[in-house]
Amino acid sequence: MPVAARHDAFSSSRQAETGRPTRRSGVLLERAATLESSFSGVHRRLLEAGLAEAGGSALRAPDAAGLSAPVAGGSATGGATAPPLAGGNASEPIQPYIKAKSSPESDAAFVTICSAVKDQHADVREWIVYHRAIGVERFYLHDTGSVPPMDTVLPDFIESGLVHYRYDAATPHRAGTHGPQITVYERCLESGRVAHPWMAFIDVDEFVVLRDATPDFPTLLREFEDAGALVLNWVVFGSSGLEKKPRTNTLASYWQCAPDGHPENLHVKSVVRPARVNDTRTDPHHFKYRAPYVAKSAGGETVAGPKSSRQATARVALHHYAIKSREEFGAKMARGSGMGNQKTMAFFHYVDNYTTANCDQAIDLGNHFASWADYALPGY
């Protein structure tokens, strides 16, 4: 079905659920077609490997024990034993990455993402497929204690080598922090310092959204090859009035965000040149760089801390779905933060009160993306 027709098919259902009509942008509809073409290539490679069938019908939800999710043609982890559930002894050896035998082309991934994850089974596939479609070639996921471990919903992506997964419920906290996230970042830097030109350090509730005619993320990054990093400004989204988890995906569901220039939108996340990073900081936003390299925003500003002095989101933004629906925020409170920050309903209301602007730039992408049956495993 053509992109425009798919957009129309999903428009009415989305409006009924959220009360917000979709918008039609020629540039974004073209990008949706590009994303579909890109993802089709990923899925074809899975088909060739015998790991999926058209429409994802070879995949099934994890078994009752929550320890495996068999796929056609192989085990969930390429023959490796599933990592233990959370609660293991801290002295036990750290689980290695569960991954496929890497091919030369996957080893040379130009753009990668490192993320600390926990109990985000329902959201992670959407996030991976979207970012793969804009040009990210490898995902390093460090599971800090999910029950069941999140490899149960990533069998095909792990088998293909797209995702390198590591489970370690006892990830230590770096001095000066209260959570495992910075330790995860240090591990990613160590493994990716030589292998990859670019590595983004973002969370599963953050989406890189290209806002101009730049065809993909690698093309944008090549414009900043002289920098130590490209830092992306947040655009923070609220609940958009949703009480329950929406039936469609994140990009299509939320349209109320912080107005341009709001202090929260000045926060940045980093896409670094790993070989030019000297060390992490005690927050997940910025890094120390080897001289003479510095971090640059998409607007060309040198950014030395966790915030920029002005919001630079004309070309690219990091959509930060900080709370989502009230139901999903309840789950977020239960799982905690990778930085050890315990969120409460006071935070939910704080974000909802300042996210009053109309930010529907990614809705067309989301509506088209909702028509891809492949990104979700049944039951999630």
Report the SS3 class of residue 237.
strand
Report d(CA 117, CA 184) in Å as an integer: 10
Asked whether 310 and 303 are in contact (CB, 8 A), the reply is no
Per-residue b/e over 336-345, b at no fewer than 16 CB within 10 Å? Answer: bbbbeeebee
Please state, in angstroms and rounded to a whole number, the distance separating the CA atoms of residues 332 and 328: 6
pLDDT digits (tens, 9 = 90+) for 234-253: 999 999 999 999 988 899 99
Q: Which two tokens stand for residue 366?
A: 């989301």
Cis bond leading into 306, ω under 30°? Answer: no
Per-residue pLDDT of the chain (380 residues; tens, 9 = 90+): 443 444 444 445 445 555 554 444 444 455 555 555 544 444 444 334 333 332 332 222 222 222 222 222 222 333 333 232 222 233 334 455 665 444 434 467 999 999 999 999 999 999 999 999 899 999 999 999 999 999 999 999 999 999 999 998 878 776 665 578 899 999 999 888 889 999 999 999 999 999 999 999 999 999 999 999 999 999 999 999 999 999 888 999 999 999 999 999 999 999 999 999 998 887 888 999 999 999 999 999 999 999 999 999 999 999 999 999 999 998 888 766 544 557 789 999 999 999 999 998 888 888 877 655 455 554 44
Strands (E), 202-323: 206-210, 229-237, 256-257, 268-272, 277-280, 287-289, 295-297, 316-321
- DSSP annotation of 252: H
State the angle between helix axes of 3-18 and 26-48 in degrees (0 to 180), rounded to the nearest 10: 110
CA–CA distances in Å: residue 98 to residues 43, 74, 90, 154, 346: 20, 14, 19, 11, 38
Answer whether 119's CB lies under 8 Å from 203's CB: no
Amino acid at position 168, single letter: D
Contact by Cβ (8 Å): 71, 377: no
- Rounded Cα distance, 317 and 237, in Å: 12
pLDDT for 365 equals: 81
Contact between 165 and 133 (Cβ < 8 Å):
no
pLDDT of the residue at 300: 98
What residues are paired with 302 via a beta bridge? 296
Q: Closest by alpha carbon to 310, among 192, 231, 203?
A: 231
The answer to whether residues 273 and 198 touch, using CB atoms and an 8 Å cutoff, is yes
Q: Which two tokens stand for residue 117?
A: 């994850």
Distances (CA, A) of 74 to 42, 68, 240, 375: 18, 11, 41, 19
- The secondary structure of 306-322 as a DSSP string is SB-SS---SSEEEEEES
CA distance 39 to 135: 10
Question: Nearest CA to 70 among 189, 193, 153, 4?
Answer: 153
**Taking the CA of residue 90 as centre, how many other CA atoms within 13 Å lie in the half-sphere pointing to its CB?**
4
Position 251: which residue type? Answer: L
pLDDT digits (tens, 9 = 90+) for 278-321: 988 878 889 999 999 999 999 999 999 999 999 999 999 999 99
Whole-number pLDDT of residue 176: 64
First-to-final CA distance of the chain: 25
